[in-house]
Structure 1
């Protein structure tokens, strides 16, 4: 492999991983024009960090190519950007990939070899054959806690992969669905989905209760899509997308119903792209919250007081104490009640967590609410919450403080 490539953004050079992460964050926030690996990113809100591998129609000779995918809502195009080529003879039939923010993991379907592409270093490492993993492994995914899973066409079983060995450990038999092409993918709620090309159906796998078999529950069918791979938008929070060989498009699929939605035509360098053998993956760009106790508490206070005129000139949320683990506030990022000042009903914070809850004090009471997290931004909004409404006049209370937890405190 070549050494790491640097890409120019204006007058400064930025590393490959930085570009990928910035582009993914821009996608999650729906921002257009963040620098990508080639030109500017055109992005669908919530697209997240999505990868596509392609080993060509013949699937017998190197290279296997890795692309990032951005979604253009207006043109209904899936814009591919070539990141690297894997020129290894043992990785010509890569039909299973999984991704983290730092690496893309590849499994060759014919020889069960495990490989790692380091995004920052722009290097590829062959880690050898995965012991105990039969050939025809065409699906792989990481859970949000970093465990690598794979499912096999031959055995119809689900496995976890110990990457340090590497070795496969059987989770159980998949019951009620055929592992046939397509892919498996976790969302950020740790729901594991399987798409089977036997019936073009999306399934949910009960992988946490494997005794007697891993039950597959049908979510619905998208006839004729013939997926080669699957990912979940918005770093696992959005809908499923699949790479369709029959349509040369990446197609959105509703996680609840399995129904197909928007078809984004695959485009590379402005021309249509022929989707052949390969896979898709999503990198979770956030971490699970598993800490006990309060993470951070932000009080709404007067931050600029005019003593001479006895009035507050400016209010804002202020961190109490030292606890700000994974949550930060840039300042002046809240919305007031209409026509009011220093009466916040919504506030946003930056966070590295996938999920958070907040104990909010507004009016005489405090209640636990879910924080809406998208693109690394957590929003706490009580504007339509009846728990924070004055029952005497139906007016909304204002936020006094926000305190973050992983789970609602008892």
Structure 2
């Protein structure tokens, strides 16, 4: 089918912000996300190739492609065609793991061409007779972190069924349905109420935190695993104060910003799930939106009361989270002063649970960092490794040094 004959759809607002940033930074892998699924046993390569093809076939979100008409972005679904999935054998190298890491890191630094091109890449690799893996590199405009979890679960489930000669039923939850849902929201009373909430929240804008995303993109990541003892202390503290880990770490970041800037009127970013029904929770696509969380910190308040106040403000913000962040930026006319963000720092809480086996075989998921980022500093809080807490600090190298991020000793975590 010719491109001109296909049904074209507008980008959703979560996608529009990705598209806008990519148009400014055309030679950046900023929006490459994904990672590797390590499989600790021999696998059937041909069955795994069939598994990946079935995953692509059953998810229209993966087959979305972006095109432009009169300088406006649109998207369409590419008809499914079976792909010859790449297989790379590193087992004959002197150091297979190093070879695989170099290959993976190089892949994640390559830029996708947004215009009428496939926006994902699957490959199967071999480290040894007892270790294989699947790599997925995918553009953020067609996927978020939750989608990657869905893809991993589908691959595990389909491969198991194929190996056991079971019937494979894959229901298609189409991202196109979300496009319709968003259109309904944009013409609803809820939209008007949400818009009013954010206009009141940012009636005046704290200049200190305004930011231009494209001011340098080169970044680094430092990862810190909080040990079991400290992780449990943090969880007990959060339970005692009746707050989530998300609230806990947002409060910690607010205190930190107050200490280094001496400001009380603070703004940080926090991504939100933005999936409001069961079908959306099963769709592969870009849903994640951003909440600019504004909080006026009173340094005289006790910590337990501060957490309550943060909790209350977060709840109000989350109730109004559907209002698109890109529209708020337009409403506030930030671009006339050269800005495109209300905050410099972002905190992202992950509690996605990956499947830990595939047909009884142990698996492990490892994410990759593309080396570019939008915000000055993003802290990702993960709770999925043996119930311990992991913190990833992604920071722009022109704005932070390695020593500023790395604690001198364990006691400096908090």
| TM-score bin (small chain) | under 0.3
Of Structure 1 and Structure 2, the greater strand share is in: 1
Q: Give the TM-score normalised by the residue count of structure 1.
A: 0.23
Which of these two proteins has the greater Rg computed from alpha carbons? Answer: 1
Greater relative contact order (Cα 8 A, min sep 6): structure 1 or 2? 2
Q: Larger helix proportion, structure 1 or 2?
A: 2
